[in-house]
Every structure is written in structure tokens, then in C-alpha cells.
Amino acid sequence: MSVKQFRLETANVSGKLSNLSDTLGKHGVNIRAISVGQESAEVSSICIVVDDPKKAKNALTAEKFEYQEIGVLAVEMPDHPGGMNAVLKPLRDAKINVITMYPYIGRASNPIMILEVDNITVATNVLKRNWVKLWDKEIYRL
């Protein structure tokens, strides 16, 4: 049970994020979750979850964007102080490292976070055992 994330490493210059958004938009792809970070003075990392991974893959390939496709978890978080720990504590106890975490922008009754972890299979099992709601392909339709 995983969702597709696209990770792009790009030159850390003005306009790169806008170019990505424009390219995906022209191909009818909607960004549903995004994280942007500076890896170094020269390189930025962009992680996105979109509404149609197949279209996104075709768009990125056609426009010659270099990317990695990575399985990530879409996890529903309890919406109260300390609620995030309902997800993070079981992962910590199982020695699962959270590599990237960012919010999903779509509509849902409770917050959804995108988690890239170092062992997605173990993380999925641990979270299910701890009654954490995981979203799968239905996330693309929210």
C-alpha cells in the first residue's frame, strides 16, 4: 500500500519550481502535495504527489525532467495536540526513519501527511497494527 512520489533535484535558481508547475499544468496534472528544500547552495529537492502519477510520469519524461519515482505513505493524522505522535511513536519504536514528511493539500476530514520512510513494508505493517489509517490509490481522487 503506497502512493507515488516524484523527487526532482534541480538547480537552486529562480523559476525552476514555476517551470515544473507549468509543465504539469499543461499536461493536466494537479499537484496534491509538495515539499521543497535546499540540498546545497546549488541544488534544491522537490517532492510531489500528484492526482495522476501516470500522466505526471509522461509529462516529466516528455519535458526531459530528471526524477525518481518513490513509494511513500499517505497517513491520516489525528487532529489534536500531540496527535502526530500516534503515527511517529510506533515508527520510532520499530526503528523506522522518516526521511521526508509534508502535508497533503487535498480534501479530507482529518489531516493527511505524506511520509517517505526507510522501510515502507515494515512501516505499513507497524502503522496498520497501531490502527493508523493509511490511504492508497483513493488519495488521487480526493
Q: Is pLDDT at 1 greater than 60 in this prediction? A: no
User: What's the pLDDT tens digit per position in 40-66?
Assistant: 889 999 999 999 999 999 999 999 999
Within 13 A of 97's CA, how many CA atoms are on the CB side? 2
User: What's the pLDDT tens digit per position in 80-130?
Assistant: 899 899 999 999 999 999 999 999 987 767 889 999 999 999 999 999 999
> What CATH number does the domain containing 9 carry?
3.30.2130.10
Q: Are residues 37 and 83 in the same domain?
A: no
CB atoms inside a 10 Å sphere around CB 68:
10
In this structure, the chain runs to a length of: 142
Phi/psi zone of residue 108: left (φ > 0), alpha (ψ -120 to 50 degrees), beta? beta
Report the distance separating Cα 114 and Cα 122, nearest Å. Answer: 16
**Residue 51 structural domain:** 3-70
User: What's the pLDDT tens digit per position in 11-42?
Assistant: 888 999 999 999 999 999 999 999 999 988 89
Domain final position from 48, 70, 92: 70
> What CATH number does the domain containing 88 carry?
3.30.70.260
Q: How many domains does the chain have?
A: 2
The pTM for the full model equals 0.90
Q: Are residues 137 and 92 in the same domain?
A: yes
Q: Are residues 99 and 126 in the same domain?
A: yes
